[in-house]
Amino acid sequence: MSNHESEASLLAEGDLVADYLEELLDIADLDGDIENSVQDGRAFIVIDTDDERLVGKDGEVLDALQELSRLVVMTENGHRSRLMVDVAGYRAKRRAELVVMAKDAIAEVQETGEQVRLAPLNAYERKIVHDEVAAAGLVSESEGEPPTRRVVVSKQ
What length does the chain have? 156
Give the whole-angstrom CA distance, residue 39 versus residue 106: 29
100 and 68 share one domain:
no
The total number of structural domains in the chain stands at: 2
pLDDT band, residue 5 (cuts 50/70/90): low
Say what the pLDDT of residue 3 is.
58
Omega within 30 of 0 (cis) for the link into 120: no
81 and 96 share one domain:
no
Say what the pLDDT of residue 2 is.
46
pLDDT band, residue 40 (cuts 50/70/90): confident
Tell me which residue range forms the domain holding 14: 3-88
Closest among 50, 16, 63 to 36, alpha carbons compared: 16
Q: Which of 57, 88, 119 is the last residue of a domain?
A: 88
Say what the pLDDT of residue 1 is.
45
pLDDT band, residue 4 (cuts 50/70/90): low
CATH number of the domain encompassing residue 134: 3.30.1370.50
The share of the chain scoring above pLDDT 90, in percent, equals 88
CATH number of the domain encompassing residue 7: 3.30.300.20
pLDDT digits over 115-140, tens only?
999 999 988 899 999 999 999 999 99
8 and 72 share one domain:
yes
Positive or negative, the CA dihedral 120, 122, 126, 129 is negative
71 and 21 share one domain:
yes
First-to-last C-alpha distance (Å) of the chain: 42
18 and 63 share one domain:
yes
More confident residue, 124 or 54: 54
pLDDT band, residue 44 (cuts 50/70/90): very high
17 and 69 share one domain:
yes
